[in-house]
Amino acid sequence: MLYLFDLLGCAIFAFSGALAAGRAKLDWLGVMIIATITAIGGGTVRDLLMNRHPIFWMQDPCYLYLTCLTGLATIAYVQYLPIPYHVLLVADALGLALFAIYGAQLAAAAGHRGIIVIVMGTMTGTAGGVIRDILSNQIPLILRKDIYASAAIVGIGIYLLLKKLKWRESWAFVAGFIAVVSLRLLALTLNWQLPVFNLR
Amino acid sequence: MLYLFDLLGCAIFAFSGALAAGRAKLDWLGVMIIATITAIGGGTVRDLLMNRHPIFWMQDPCYLYLTCLTGLATIAYVQYLPIPYHVLLVADALGLALFAIYGAQLAAAAGHRGIIVIVMGTMTGTAGGVIRDILSNQIPLILRKDIYASAAIVGIGIYLLLKKLKWRESWAFVAGFIAVVSLRLLALTLNWQLPVFNLR
Amino acid sequence: MLYLFDLLGCAIFAFSGALAAGRAKLDWLGVMIIATITAIGGGTVRDLLMNRHPIFWMQDPCYLYLTCLTGLATIAYVQYLPIPYHVLLVADALGLALFAIYGAQLAAAAGHRGIIVIVMGTMTGTAGGVIRDILSNQIPLILRKDIYASAAIVGIGIYLLLKKLKWRESWAFVAGFIAVVSLRLLALTLNWQLPVFNLR
């Protein structure tokens, strides 16, 4: 069940990566590469920092098949149908929430302190998008605007708090997940933004 | 023998890295750093992901001496002689082929599945150039055009196929190597390109 | 004592990272993230390459608290007071020197050869700044001009030489540290630069 969700999250992020690759005019292989990196980059950085080997996609190649296929499917899709930006934003919020809480769960299970759990979860949810933006030669989106990484941080905080209050793992997971999704979608709807630090 | 080829591959990639550094107007130390990263970046990422320690250049510092010297030699060379672009393209194809099949061989020897072997080999051959382009603030070349990573993928595929057909390791290696070089040079000569995904 | 210096070095680098984030108009969370990455990026790359786990900031979360707080403090500070560029340059030289010699010490203690010690120390002192520049979409400063990485390299060389001459560890440390700081500040004062490799 969680595994299926995880694959779904990968497909969503791969889709957003493939669209970014299209805007940067990459070739088909480049699209598959960017789609894959966007989807699995966050978990890879997490596994490297936490010294978890083999890296998750090296153990289970389904992830790579899925992201490459999603990249190709995206190319085919946009020839015929409009890009469903609204659906995509909701799907992306689901992917962010899932990856963030799942990454946090792994770090908590490894016995890390609260702040490390937050960093690992947030990184799992966002690092793929950061690498995608670096490869497309842009300042990473999540650093510039929007409640994105912050939604992940708050949701992981709630997950950790509920665990401390002795909630069952699965309930804390669901609550954290819902918190990230709600916060992200609320921020999009109401156009919430963090204040900007503008030096000149 | 393979070791000498490996050093040769490093020198070629260091040369291409130093030229990129010259185009970005870096200082002499920057040239040595970019030359080194271009040459050893791919193998470093591979070793980190496969949890191979010590990283190959930490065990054998010849690689670092060679790449730094190549960087300096490039600076001296271009003062007096024209850049041999045609020779460089052939040399680069040889380096790509060698690194790709060698990386694939390491991954196969570690017991990884076919798709992981392909990813590791392709990464060994191309990640250094990707990091070089990121450091020079460009969208990585291999994502934009040309049969480059794709030549590596096809060659590794042939290497794996021949191994499955019970060819001897060294013959499969040579066949894969020749496949990458031929495909890359054919693509350059005939101007083959992968189709581009252009999203406006 | 060394630990306090290490935290001080982190705070200095976090400050310089936060200023870069302000120039790139990031939001407050982005400022904290860039401040943190600038401060701990070099040590993280070093720990990954040397297979030192847990990564230093995962074991001791003080680093993360400090860098995030420094990021926020920077935002508050620049509202009311001018940026002390001259103080910052001196502070940055101290941070560079400390991180470089400390990284070198760790690599030497792990039994690595001289050139690897130099690479690890220089990387500890400079990689954070390189990642900061990549995230702000600029060609890394240290590759373009200034005696920066080169000051670290010379200082580490002196540290290694004195160790070989049987100086006590702490004295060699201090001598290397002073060498880096002096060289960096002299270079700033006298406007020393490495020659540039300008291709076209």
Task: Note the pLDDT of residue B56.
Answer: 93
Q: Is the pLDDT of residue A15 over 70?
A: yes
| Lookup: tokens for A79 | 């020839």
Partner B contacted by A139 (CB < 8 A)? no
Q: Residue B24 and residue A171: Cα distance in Å, rounded?
A: 53
A contact chains, 3+ CB pairs < 8 A: B, C
pLDDT tens digit sequence for C69-101:
999 999 999 888 888 778 888 888 898 999 999
pLDDT band at A182 (very low <50, low <70, confident <90, very high): very high
Q: Is the pLDDT of residue B6 over 70?
A: yes
What is the chain B residue with the closest CA to A35? B143
Q: Is the pLDDT of residue B15 over 80?
A: yes
pLDDT band at C136 (very low <50, low <70, confident <90, very high): confident
Task: Note the pLDDT of residue A20.
Answer: 86
Residues 91-110 of C with CB under 8 A from A: none
Q: Are A129 and A141 in contact (CB under 8 A)?
A: yes
Mutation target to probe the C interface, by most C beta carbons within 10 A, among A112, A197, A198 is A197
Q: How many helices (H) and strands (E) does chain A have?
A: 9, 0
Domain boundaries along the sequence of chain A = 2-190
Task: Note the pLDDT of residue C144.
Answer: 67
Name the residue with tokens 């400063």: C141
pLDDT band at C2 (very low <50, low <70, confident <90, very high): confident
Q: Is the pLDDT of residue A144 over 80?
A: no
State whether residue C196 is helix, strand or coil.
strand
Select the residue of B27, B33, B58 nearest C193 (Cβ to Cβ): B27
ipTM above 0.90, yes or no: no
pLDDT band at B87 (very low <50, low <70, confident <90, very high): confident
Q: What is the mean pLDDT of residues A10-32?
A: 90
Task: Note the pLDDT of residue C196.
Answer: 87
pLDDT tens digit sequence for C60-69:
999 999 999 9
Task: Note the pLDDT of residue C25.
Answer: 85
pLDDT tens digit sequence for B135-171:
877 777 666 667 889 999 999 999 999 999 999 999 9
Of C1, C28, C6, nearest to C94 (Cα)? C6
Give how far C117 is from chain B: nearest CA, Å.
10
Q: What is the dihedral of CA B55, B58, B59, B64, to 10 degrees?
A: 120
Which DSSP helix (H) or strand (E) runs through C173?
helix C169-190
Is pLDDT larger for residue B84 or for residue C168? Answer: C168
Question: For all residues of chain A together, what is the average pLDDT?
Answer: 90
Q: Is the pLDDT of residue B195 over 90?
A: no
Task: Note the pLDDT of residue A74.
Answer: 93
Task: Note the pLDDT of residue C87.
Answer: 80
State the number of CA atoms in the 13 A half-sphere of C27 facing the CB.
16
Q: Residue C126 and residue C134: Cα distance in Å, rounded?
A: 13
Q: Residue C99 and residue C173: Cα distance in Å, rounded?
A: 11
Partner B contacted by C144 (CB < 8 A)? yes
Of C142, C155, C145, nearest to C182 (Cα)? C155
Q: Is the pLDDT of residue A155 over 90?
A: yes
pLDDT tens digit sequence for C106-135:
999 999 999 999 999 999 999 988 888 888
Distance of CA A19 to the CA centre of its chain: 15
pLDDT tens digit sequence for B166-188:
999 999 999 999 999 999 999 98
Task: Note the pLDDT of residue A33.
Answer: 92
